[in-house]
């Protein structure tokens, strides 16, 4: 279980970075900023890679998190980077990341987050 908790913490840290990196931006600014796009895409890759490594037992016990979709986005960002839609990335940041943070915070023991 400890390995899963560590992976969840990696996901949470990356998701919080995504929020920080996107703070005070609107979609037009995001589209113009190569720096923000690169930083956010990198953290989304981290989220997806960690999600991919969470154990099957843990994923089965927490089906409200769309593990498959999270890992699928990582695969698209890494392997099909030339077809990534900036609009989809932006929508993910705005709509999916806040909910994911909430879900992860509920799963991570406070002691682990403070280590």
* Contact (CB, 8 A) for 19 and 97: yes
Instruction: Tell me how crowded residue 55 is: count the other CB atoms within 10 A of its CB.
Output: 12
Q: Which two tokens stand for residue 115?
A: 């280590």
User: What's the rounded Cα separation, in Å, for the pair 98 and 72?
Assistant: 19
Q: Which residues are catalytic?
A: 74, 79
Burial class (CB in 10 A: 0-12, 13-18, 19+), 67: middle
């Amino acid at each position: 279980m400890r390995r899963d908790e560590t992976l969840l913490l990696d996901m949470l840290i990356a998701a919080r970075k995504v929020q920080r990196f996107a703070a005070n931006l609107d979609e037009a600014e995001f589209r113009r900023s190569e720096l923000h796009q690169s930083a956010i895409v990198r953290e989304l890759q981290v989220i997806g890679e960690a999600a991919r490594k969470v154990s099957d037992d843990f994923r089965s016990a927490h089906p409200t998190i769309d593990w498959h979709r999270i890992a699928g986005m990582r695969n698209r960002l890494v392997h099909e980077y030339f077809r990534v839609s900036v609009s989809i990335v932006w929508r993910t940041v705005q709509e999916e990341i806040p909910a994911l943070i909430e879900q992860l915070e509920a799963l991570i023991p406070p002691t682990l987050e403070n280590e």
